[in-house]
Amino acid sequence: MKPAAFEYHVPETVADVVAIVAEHGDEAKVIAGGQSLVPMLSMRLTRFEHLVDLNRVEELRGIERSNGDLVVAAMTRQAAAERAPEVAAVPLLQRAIPFIGHFQIRNRGTVGGSIAHADSASELPAVTLALDAELDLVGRGGERRVAASDFFVGTWTTSLADDEVLRAVRFPVWEGRCGFSVDEIARRSGDFALAGIVCAIEVDAADSVRRAAIAYFGMGPTPMRARSAEAALVGSNPSASDLEEIGRLAVADCSPAADVHASAEYRTSVGAHLARRAVERALGEARSG
């Protein structure tokens, strides 16, 4: 359980990070909190000639409001985001973070690291996708902004190029009568989710759904939007029995895999219940607002 040898780089600016990453291409890997990467290195599931440590890059830390978005710099620790009062503006983010690992993991793990790692069973990619967040990437060619829907390509795979790093994530702030819910099924607290969901609902003055955003995690190779269920919700004022149908619609957009932890059938069954429950809770919160 010892990682293979690597050359260690510890830049202090984003410009230096990009220069090192661009020089070494796919032989280099950036390390953020390391809570997923170090186990993979230790088990020798992967190895890199160069590790580029982002932990001393001060400009990659911090949380600010900008043009209606909550902008979280990539190296902001999950524990710091969990406690930051500004994060209350994005309840999905605030409520999803405590589901990540254990508090010791969140003390090291970062918001950007979890998103760039793109584990399909992890919480923050689903939050990013549900809210149509945007990701600021920086590379040799300069900066570009990518929609979450274009960022998650496959399991552990994103549209980040070899010479690019994630600088920040822009989470839209939902105003108005909104409700939110985050839920997951795991065997033990802190384990990888067998299936999970994030849901945001906005209702109008008559309690009808104006906006709905639902994303699953652990239900496919990437976080998955439940577009059919969202479309069915918008403009409606769903009753409890309608929500059963919403659950079935939501899970129909997913393609969960079977693994040693759960069968595809189990995930599909659980996914429908999660959607019904998450929509019910988010709707209740929105209507009471």
Partner 1 sequence: MAEHDITLTVNGQLRHGRAEARKTLADFLREDLALTGTHLGCEHGVCGACTVLVDGAAVRSCLMFAVQAADAEVTTIEGLAAPDGSLNPVQDAFREEHGLQCGFCTPGFVMTMHAFLLDNPAPTDDEIKEGLSGNVCRCTGYQGILQAARRAAGVMSS
Name which of 10 and 161 has its Cβ closer to partner 1. 10
When binding is defined by CB under 8 A, the residue of 11, 34, 112, 218 that contacts partner 1 is: 34
Q: How many residues bind partner 1 (CB under 8 A)?
A: 30
User: For residue 153, what are the CA distances in angstroms to 43, 164, 215, 248, 255?
Assistant: 25, 15, 15, 25, 15
CB of 166 to partner 1, least distance (A): 19
Q: Are strands 28-31 and 50-53 parallel, antiparallel or unpaired?
A: parallel
C-alpha span between 193 and 121 (Å, rounded): 6
Among the listed ranges 110-118, 182-190, 220-228, 240-248, the one in contact with partner 1 (CB under 8 A) is 182-190
Name which of 20 and 41 has its Cβ closer to partner 1. 41
Site string for partner 1, 68-107 (x = CB under 8 A): -----------x---------------------xxxxx-x
Name which of 29 and 276 has its Cβ closer to partner 1. 29
Question: Binding to partner 1 by residue 6, rule CB under 8 A?
Answer: yes
CA-wise closest residue to 75 among 96, 89, 99, 59 = 59
When binding is defined by CB under 8 A, the residue of 25, 39, 68, 176 that contacts partner 1 is: 39
DSSP for 139-196 reads ETTEEEEEEHHHHEEETTEES--TT-EEEEEEEEPPPSSEEEEEEEE-SSTTSPPSEE
Name which of 4 and 15 has its Cβ closer to partner 1. 4
Residues making contact with partner 1 (CB under 8 A):
1-8, 10, 34-35, 38-39, 41-43, 51, 53, 55, 79, 101-105, 107-108, 188-190
